[in-house]
Structure 1
Amino acid sequence: MAAAVAALTLGGGGLVAYGLSQQETRDPAWVASSDGSHEGHGMSSSAVEPSGSSTSGSSSGSAGSADPHAGHMGMGGSSSSGSSSPTAAKKPAARYVRPSGETLARSQPTKVRIPSLDVSSTIGELGLQQDKRMEVPQDGTSTGWYTGSPTPGELGPSVLAAHVTWDKKPAVFFDLGAMKKGQKIEVDRKDGTTAIFSVEDVGQYPKSDFPTDDVYGTVDHAALRLITCGGFFDGETGHHVDNVVVYAKLVGSR
């Protein structure tokens, strides 16, 4: 499983200074793990090849591009038969954007709540392993935040990921595909604030046709992406054939 989230801090220097202070985020290329250690978990480890440095914000309001066709969190289960995912997708062209709507200062996420799904899950960090594979949550109840992307509430698409199944049982994002437009997602942050997002769309895509630009590309607002696996589970490959993505927008904070 893998997740991406970036961070940038709003200051008093105005929109131009704000845009220039955002970070150049990593560009992960998701590849299904050939490690069978998570067999039946409904998600696999992901190989990530950073394409830029990660500092303190995303100047383009993006989370970098990734091609998680076969290896995003909760998307593929683990496989002992080798990787089945394609190579990295071309990174969307970066551009500076003027923030639209409320944005929050950088602050690490600590918990995600989805009232409509009765989900309450702690959030851990997902970085890169020595072999450049994306780390994955180590259980079926926690959610991962990729530290190369914005924190929830900052400008750009913050990405959280979790398993859809674990040990052949439903995991934290098992019902993610059932979310509806307008339903709320709450993310608690380390600074004591809670970012509140409203679902705008839910998509399910074959891993061979993952909408990289829509998920990781430039946006002019604080966005959230929840990602897991979905669709038919191919017992021969050990992977789900689809990815489920929830698209949400920041609508408030407390």
Structure 2
Amino acid sequence: MDAVPRWVLGVAAVGALFVLLPLVAMVSRVNWGSFLELVTSESSVAALMLSLRTSSVATIICVVVGVPMALVLARTRFPGQRLLRPLVLLPLVLPPVVGGIALLYTFGRRGLLGETLDVLGIQIAFSTTAVVLAQTFVALPYLVLSLEGGLRAVGTRYEAVASTLGAAPTTVLRRVTLPLVLPALVSGAVLSFARALGEFGATLTFAGSLQGVTRTLPLEIYLQRETDPDAAVALSLVLVIVAVLVVGFAHRGANPATGFLRRDA
């Protein structure tokens, strides 16, 4: 603390209050007398279960697709790589509703791929699959960014030694690279899950809001805000608690120097 000027502490306290006060205000508005009744209603439980299922599937897709993407960005050099990285990370700064429109014009019935899929009898837009795709679209960059940083942090010396000893590239990846960056991979996957769980704009635009099919917990909160504010506040608190647990798990063993989980965590 002695190395930090007092004015820095003051500004940091203001920033902390800016984040915490809205949460405190929300908690103060919770109707605790009917809290359990509000969060266990049929529509609330259906929305929560749908969110957990779709977010889990989206996270699995992020891992399957994101690990190769991060490896390519961190371990290879090719023309256009400097352009590809910003494009991969674009959903981080892109308004979710714009992402939903992009997905709709790709997989919708009149979309780039949607017309072909429709001929084959496959309809994606406004289905549970659309929810998963929307969540994956916004969550994938979190895993790629986390894992790419982890790959760059550990370097390539151990991989080079394994290759020198005759290990095949796939063996090096499986036995050396992935174990070294496993903490970063876990952190990225958990953050991707949290982002998918809270996704709203892309889901509403691309998947709509059909109870039990596409109405996730954020959509349920938005609808309840107009008809039952108490239920909206109660469900918001549930989502906050889940988010805090997820982010806390992701950073419980974070290495302050690298921002990634310690290997002994």
TM-score by length of 2: 0.19
More helix by share: 2
More strand by share: 1
Query: Rg: which structure is higher?
Result: 2
TM-score by length of 1: 0.19
